[in-house]
Amino acid sequence: MGELSRRTGVGTHQLRYYEAQGLLDPTRSANGYREYGEDSVAKVEQIRTLLSAGMTTKDIASMMPCVLGEGPDFVSCPELLDLMGSREKGLNERIEALTRSRDALRGHIDETRTARPGERPWAAARRRGRA
């Protein structure tokens, strides 16, 4: 496990988590140590890439039959497209909610900056005819 951690830059605790989630399947040596094959480095790279794209480990486990290469590259699977489309929709909804929150916060910041010393921001807005 230490060697795989060194080769991928992923901590051993994270590798254990991937194993617990069914994403890595090491063999065991006679002394009980985990042994990872050469394909494990590519598999960890696939996992990290998919996690960075907003996929969960549960998603990744279901996607693995459609994943090839280190990229990862995908085989066209209807289930995979549905899953990725669903994740994209969720991300878009979160982006829209965050954009609304940022815009509201920006408005509060602007009102606070333009208030006179000791004046409440809502009073400054009313003074300027915006409330």
The answer to whether residues 64 and 89 belong to one domain is: no
The answer to whether residues 4 and 66 belong to one domain is: yes
Which pLDDT score, from 0 to 100, does residue 128 have? 65
Rounded to two decimals, the pTM is 0.67
Would the pLDDT of 131 be above 60? Answer: no
The answer to whether residues 30 and 80 belong to one domain is: no
The answer to whether residues 2 and 46 belong to one domain is: yes
The answer to whether residues 48 and 112 belong to one domain is: no
Q: What total of structural domains would you count in the chain? A: 2
Higher per-residue pLDDT: 97 or 115 = 97
* pLDDT tens profile 59-77: 999 888 887 776 667 788 8
Domain holding 116, by residue range, is 76-131
Instruction: For residues 7 and 37, give the distance between their C-alpha atoms in angstroms, rounded to a whole number.
Output: 12
Q: Mean pLDDT, the chain, as a whole number?
A: 86
The answer to whether residues 11 and 57 belong to one domain is: yes
The answer to whether residues 4 and 58 belong to one domain is: yes
Task: For residue 10, name the pLDDT band (cuts at 50, 70, 90).
Answer: very high
Q: Domain holding 60: CATH number?
A: 1.10.1660.10
Three-class SS string for 72-114?
A: CEECCCHHHHHHHHHHHHHHHHHHHHHHHHHHHHHHHHHHHHH
Given 26, 57, 74, the domain boundary residue is 74
Would the pLDDT of 94 be above 70? Answer: yes
The answer to whether residues 80 and 16 belong to one domain is: no
